[in-house]
Amino acid sequence: MATQKKNHRKEHSIARKNGVREIKQTFLIVCEGEVTEPEYFNSFRLTSASVRAVGKGLNTLSLVNEAIIIKDQEKIRGKLYDQCWVVFDKDDFPNKDFNEAIKQAESNNFQVAYSNQAFEYWFLLHFHLYQGSLHRDKYGDMLTKLLGFKYSKISGEMGRIFNRLFPLTEVAMANAQKVLESFDRVSPAKAESSTTVHRLVQQLLKFVG
């Protein structure tokens, strides 16, 4: 219980540093991963915003097309979201597909939280500024050492991972921004390793209680 209170205080601190809390907003976050990403975004303790984070098991263009369908279906039901995001990885998918997916998402009023190569690169940035090509096959072992316990993508494990990462969120955001700046004028598909997940996290932090 003491740990939870401590983390909650840190959430207050980070939220204050990222600007004045805004009017309650709604987020639609459509993720490539079916477990890790949705559970991560649903772990943020938001008091002035609501999140619908869903994992579809689809990638790049397929995911973006599905996200558009979900958004349209929600609109028919009378549900409009203030912020719509898609979250997907480069992995080994063709550069053209990856870049086109970003373009298509943005043209349909989605913001994009991509990772090149994979989402766990965002987790690594909580600990160090990793720059240059870093294959995703190494992410799991690296995170296990950095977290102090075995990194797992199994459902239900994200709570412990999130609590370990959250106090380091500001470090991760600063590192992610530095990496992006180093890839100025480089297409996302060729910007390995990099991520824009921090842009979504920055938005969520505005609504932490």
pLDDT per position as a tens digit, 43-73: 999 999 999 999 999 999 999 999 999 999 9
Distance separating alpha carbons of residues 65 and 109, to the nearest angstrom: 12
Low-confidence ranges of the chain (pLDDT < 50): 1-13, 15-16, 21
Q: How far is CA 126 from CA 99, 101, 164, in A?
A: 26, 27, 10
Give the ranges where 139-187 is alpha helix by DSSP (H).
139-147, 158-165, 169-182
Which H or E run contains 197? helix 197-205
Cis peptide before 193 (omega within 30 of 0): yes
| Three-class DSSP category at 51 | strand
pLDDT of residue 8: 46
Strand partners, 27: 51, 83
pLDDT of residue 125: 98
pLDDT of residue 6: 44
Which residue's structure tokens are 């559970």?
39
Q: State pTM to two decimals.
A: 0.89
pLDDT of residue 9: 45
Q: How far is CA 34 from CA 24, 53, 76, 138, in A?
A: 26, 10, 25, 21
Please state whether beta strands 25-31 and 49-55 pair in parallel, antiparallel, or not at all (unpaired): parallel
Residue from 66, 173, 161 nearest 113 by CA: 173
pLDDT of residue 14: 53
